[in-house]
Structures are given as structure tokens and as C-alpha cells.
Structure 1
Amino acid sequence: MTEIRAATESDFATITQIYAHNVLHGTGTFALEPPSQDEMLARFRQIETMRLPYLVAVENDEVIGFAYASPFRDRPGYKYGVEDSIYIAPGYPGRGLGKALLTRLIELCTERGLYTMIAVIGDAENGASVGVHRACGFEQTGILPRAGYKFGRWLDVVFMTRDLLPYTPKPQGDGWASPSVT
């Protein structure tokens, strides 16, 4: 049975391997060189300082996928929305892990008082990612043609969004920003 839990620093050897595989073989990220484990840990710590969720999917004590919420953009005016990222280990796609991770991420971000989640899907031909987001209530809100170039071809980026909390004229709470961000 798959467990979805908060990531810990001890998960990052495997998280780094999963991401490296996606960098080297996939178009879900436009990174061309895999980052080091230290870089991945630094990114994790930054997300933790914002009190945003970083999750892992675990089976038989092995991390087989991860997902996290991060700022869509770093300007304070964006602080009520987040971008989601999901990566699955080779050999595990198509088993519902992406949907399980995204569902939990949505729950945690909603509890956190965030209003919008944005999916920035590298490669418009990534039907699995588009499908998972659609199944979790996201709607396509745009396409950026030829936004990136990887593996010898131009790639479009699909934007999908999902409301987490109902619209209000003035948002409540501090979003992902720390009290020192103004």
C-alpha cells in the first residue's frame, strides 16, 4: 500500500535520483542538467520556510514519487497562490501516484489558506500530467507556444489552474509569505 507523507531530509537521495531521471529523460521539466542533492535539499528547505507542503509517496519503505507546492512567482502579490510540481519514479507511472500526491497537496494548501493552485506543465503533449490535473479539478487556462527547447524540439507549456478557496474581494491570512515579506 502506498503512503503519502511529508518529505524529510533523509528522503533526498531518492528524490534527487527521481528528479534526475525526469531531467534526463522527460519533458516535465525544462532543466537540462540534474541538480545535486545539496541543491535539492536547499530547495526543500526554502519551501519549508514558507510552510508549504513537500510530500513523498512511499511503498515498502521506498520513495517512489514526490510533489510539492512552491510560489508561482516570488513577488508578494502572488502570495495567495502556488504552483504544484509532481515527479514519479521510473517504473511507477500510471498507478495513480500522481493523483494521490496532487489530491493531498490540494488538501494541505487549502488548509493553509491558499486560494489558487497553478500547474505549469512542460510539454503540451504530456497527456498524463494534463489528465491528472483535470481529474483533480484543474482547468486549462493557457498555452505558451514554443516556451522551451529540449531533446531537439520546441515544447509548448500548458497552464492549468484550480481554485482552492472561494473568491473573496480581499484574501485572508498571509499566504506563503513570511511576516517579514511586504
Structure 2
Amino acid sequence: MLEEEYEKDRRKLPRHLQRQPEPERPFTFTIRPVEDRDIPDIREIYNYYVTNSVVTFDEDVWSVAQWRKKRAGLAKQGLPFLVAESPSGQILGYALVQPMSSKSAYRFSVENSIYLGQAATGKGLGRALLEALIEACEAAGIRQMVAVISDKGAEGSVALHEKMGFVEVGRMGRVGFKFGRWLGTIYMQKALKPVKKKGLFTR
């Protein structure tokens, strides 16, 4: 039977007998602190960007052991590391902050990182993760959050940070070299409002 004949016959059927398209499932997720079981998924998400993009200047993929060491280090410093999990248990993306510098005077300032799995982009997850990360940092007493963004291929990240109140504070040109081309960085900054307890910052 030709396709047009099939469609003609199908339209003759009562509506309740016609095959209806399945409704699109809502995109739902839960944001929570990272757990050890999340590390393999986080590694896969990050390594995709290492090998396929210039949004990270890393050129070598990370191992599970490296991610576990990073997670332990951030936990020791009391810094937020969050994941977004689907109802089926899949890690859709993650967000974390790390110290801007090892020098102690920088202890109230952090640099953020947000990465999404390819199936989770363009659905508002990046904003949800950044909102949760900011809230967690404020609860930890962090005063300043900085995003260091590649000046090539990361236009969505720049737009997201602008929407969340970050302002561009500087640029550096040709400081990275990856995939045979020079790359620069864009610095964006947001002042946070730490939670106070008895007149003292929690951090």
C-alpha cells in the first residue's frame, strides 16, 4: 500500500482508533550533592568536552581516580559540588566551584564549572544548576564567584552567566592553544550574599 493510501485509510478511522503521537515526556530532574556513585557519569560528561570542544582547555581525558581525588579535595574545603539526576538515575550534568587560588587570601572567592550531558542541553538545566550552585555558595559564606569562559564556542555559557547577574570584568587573548588554534578567555564575576550566623559569616 502506498503511503498516501495508508494515510487516507487511517483518516477514515474514528479518532479514538487512530494512532496518536505520544506526548513528549517532561524533562525532570533532581539537583543534589555529588556522591561517589556519580563519578563515572561525571567523567564521561567532562571527557566528551575535553575531546570534542574548546570550552575546556584540558587536552587529556580525566580518570575516575582523578575525579574522586577532586571530589575529596572540594569536600575537605567545604565547597559545593552538585549533580542533576534524572528520575531513572542518570546524571544529566554537574556544577562545582573550586578555589581561585591556593593563596589563603582568596578563600572567599571561587571559580565555577558547569557541564551538561549532550541529551540535557537546551532545556534549562544549566540555569537550574547555576542557581543551585550560587545558593549553596552563599550558604557556605562565599563572597565572589568567577567564571572563566573560552572566547570560542561558549556563547551559551556567556549568555547564561549574564542572565544570572554575572558581569564581564576582563579578557585575555591567545592564552590557550587547542586543536591547532589559539584561544582566549572571558572573565565574568558575580558578588554573592553569604548567609550570616550571629553576625559571622559561615565560612
> Could you tell me the TM-score, scaled by structure 1's length?
0.89
CA contact (8 A) 1:18 1:89 kept: yes
Any residues of structure 2 matched to 1:157-168 within 5 Å, and which?
A: 157-165=185-193
1:117 is matched with 145
Give the corresponding residue for 2:63.
36
Mapped contact 1:22–1:28 kept (Cα < 8 A): yes
After superposition, what is the alpha-carbon deviation per residue over 1:122-153, rounded to whole angstroms, capped at 9, x for unaligned? 23441110011111110011111011011111
Structure 1 vs Structure 2: percent identity of aligned residues? 34
Superposition TM-score, scaled by structure 2 size: 0.80
Q: Which residue of 2 aligns with 1:56?
A: 83
1:74 partner SS: coil
Unpaired segments ≥5 residues, structure 2: 1-27, 195-199
Aligned CA distance change for structure 1 residues 98 and 55 (closer, same or farther; 3 Å): same
Number of equivalences: 171
Query: Aligned partners of 1:64, 1:165: CA distance in 2, in Å?
Result: 28
Alignment of 1:126-165 (within 5 A): 126-165=154-193
Of 43, 47, 52, 1:16 maps to 43
Alpha-carbon distance in 2 for matches of 1:4, 1:173: 25
Q: Select which of 90, 96, 101 maps to 1:68.
A: 96
8 Å CA contact retained: 2:54, 2:152: no
Q: Which portions of structure 1, spanning 4 or more consecutive aligned residues, are displaced by more than 6 angstroms?
A: none
Structure with more of its chain in helix, by fraction: 2
Q: Which has the higher contact order (CA 8 A, sep 6+)?
A: 1
Structure 1 unmatched runs, 5+: 167-171, 176-182
